[in-house]
Structure 1
Amino acid sequence: MLQNILAPKTACLLIIGNEILSGRTQDTNTRTLALALNAHGIRLSEVRIIPDIEDHIVSTLNACRVHFDHVFTSGGIGPTHDDITAACVAKAFGTTLLLHAPSFTALEQHFGPERFNTARQRMAYLPDGATPIANPVSVAPGFTIGNVHVMAGVPKIFTAMVEEVVPNLPRGAALSMKGWHACGLREGDLAEALTRLQSEFSQTDLGSYPFDRPAVGKGVALIAKGYNAAEVEQAAQAVHDLILAQGQTPISGEPADHGAAT
């Protein structure tokens, strides 16, 4: 779904890190990127979480950069032994890491000569032909090469880099989203009617999201989203009427704390 011609550009996020796969660290960068891309009219079509293994990173990156208009990576560009993303990206593009002198100077000034050791100096090496992504939080740059945007995994830094990159990408129609919710709704009661609506509004994604919130009780939120704003409005009105037909009172939007687990 969401195959609207108004949003032709697609993106993939590669989350790189054993700490994500082990469960030690919880990913929050997907939501950050998705919201930024949606607002800019680029569709985040896929997210993959992969380990710190060179061959795996290189092969996945090469597959994704051909299939998607943009590839974003998160993680693996720090000073430690398992920060191998930059080298893997260089290998994927058939090039080598070169010292980026302005980044080296900025890092040296940031850490001071005594603390700017060999490990930290590694962060100033970028693939030949890459353009640095500014890092206003901790100076160490990300970089863009081709259609690949390589960013830090630390959420605060990742967010800052997203804010540096996404506004400068070609813009499409922003994602429109509107919906209703009601307590007392049950998915099984409205599934057939919702399927008919999805067929009617083919350029809009109709999502059904059960909730159980201490403050509001149990029910279902029905959300219309897509890149054709006029159709999203029409679909949302149809969803509103569907809730009324179920004998419930539609409430605009989603229930409070909708980001929590259902």
Structure 2
Amino acid sequence: MADAAATAPVTAALLVIGDEILSGRTKDRNIGYIADYLTAIGIDLKEVRVVPDEEDEIVAAVNALRQRYTYLFTTGGIGPTHDDITADSVAKAFGVPIDEDPRAIAMLLERIRPEDLNAARRRMARIPHGAELVANSVSKAPGFWIGNVIVMAGVPAIMQAMLDEVAPKLKTGVKMQSVSIRADAKEGDIAIPLGEIAKAHPDVIIGSYPFNDERGFNTNVVVRARDEAKLRAAQAAVEAMLAAWHGRAA
């Protein structure tokens, strides 16, 4: 049982918060970065949701996702403006109060003069009770971590700094390994035998991704697994299938 627990996947969801994302005014630059980052450290990003700056929507999404995955990361909505309501919404989801946190005020004062720490900027120091702060080396306004929910800024540079801050504290699983095989075939030509290989290797993830090159329509086959022996066995099966297909097509 201990070995199974040690090799169990660590999963995550990402909740992107902001009307500006849904309207198209701001183009999200965080999803791909977070997906790459988590994959590299052995965490599977399983779901991404985008919700507006509406308390009920944020609360419902937080409560659904935090129960389903090992971690829930959020981006956006922790700034100084009236529509930055992520902190309040997360506090409501957990059923805890929210107040100015002296630790957060001290962080803000590292960058802001006391006389400039107005009511709007003090909003960035409102932290749900029981949360740990996530340091922000870029602008000092912190994120926070409560339960398995990690709340980060939406500005990419700040989000990246916060992710670097929390990464060493995250539980991670066995890293996913992958190999990409250029098929030199159209996706429809190899779909049936590729499906048969996938059934024969249930612990391996096999995907086909069409693209265009100088040959016209082409396909990359990507094989992914945590166990290297299973990865190599599936890779060999795919390569053998492609060799057979090219032999028939010649």
TM-score > 0.5 by shorter chain: yes
CA contact 1:7–1:42 (8 Å) conserved in 2? no
Using the TM superposition, name which of 114-123 and 47-56 deviates more: 114-123
Deviation track 1:52-94 (CA, whole Å, cap 9, x = no partner) reads: 1101111111111112111111110011111100000011111
Alpha-carbon distance between aligned partners in 1 of 2:84 and 2:97, rounded to the nearest angstrom: 16
CA contact 2:132–2:144 (8 Å) conserved in 1? yes
Alpha-carbon distance between aligned partners in 2 of 1:227 and 1:126, rounded to the nearest angstrom: 38
SS of the residue corresponding to residue 138 of structure 2 reads coil
Deviation track 1:142-171 (CA, whole Å, cap 9, x = no partner) reads: 110001000111111111111111231122
Alpha-carbon distance between aligned partners in 2 of 1:220 and 1:115, rounded to the nearest angstrom: 57
1:182 offset after TM fit, Å?
4.0
After superposition, where does 1:149-160 map in structure 2 within 5 Å? 149-160=150-161
1:90 matched residue in structure 2: 91
Deviation track 1:202-225 (CA, whole Å, cap 9, x = no partner) reads: 111101000125x77531100011
2:176 matched residue in structure 1: 175
2:137 matched residue in structure 1: 136
Residues 26/237 of structure 1: CA separation in 2 closer, same or farther (3 Å cut): farther
1:198 matched residue in structure 2: 198
1:228 matched residue in structure 2: 227
Normalised TM-score (structure 2): 0.91
The runs of 5 or more residues in structure 1 that have no matched partner are 249-262
Deviation track 1:15-73 (CA, whole Å, cap 9, x = no partner) reads: 11111111122222122222222222221111111111101111111111112111111
Partner amino acid, structure 2, of 1:192:
I
- More contact order relative to length (CA 8 Å, sep ≥ 6): 1
2:34 matched residue in structure 1: 33
2:13 matched residue in structure 1: 12
Pick the structure with more helix per residue.
2
Alpha-carbon distance between aligned partners in 1 of 2:222 and 2:127, rounded to the nearest angstrom: 42
The runs of 5 or more residues in structure 2 that have no matched partner are none
SS of the residue corresponding to residue 109 of structure 2 reads helix
CA contact 2:9–2:174 (8 Å) conserved in 1? no
Alpha-carbon distance between aligned partners in 2 of 1:34 and 1:232, rounded to the nearest angstrom: 21
Normalised TM-score (structure 1): 0.87
Alpha-carbon distance between aligned partners in 1 of 2:212 and 2:27, rounded to the nearest angstrom: 23
1:229 offset after TM fit, Å?
2.6
Q: Alpha carbon RMSD of aligned pairs, Å?
A: 1.9
SS of the residue corresponding to residue 109 of structure 1 reads coil
In the alignment, does 2:67 pair up with 1:63? Answer: no
Using the TM superposition, name which of 4-13 and 167-176 deviates more: 4-13
CA contact 1:36–1:166 (8 Å) conserved in 2? no
How many residue pairs match? The answer is 243
Deviation track 1:174-227 (CA, whole Å, cap 9, x = no partner) reads: 0111111144x11111000000110111111101000125x7753110001122
SS of the residue corresponding to residue 48 of structure 2 reads strand
Identity of aligned residues (%): 45
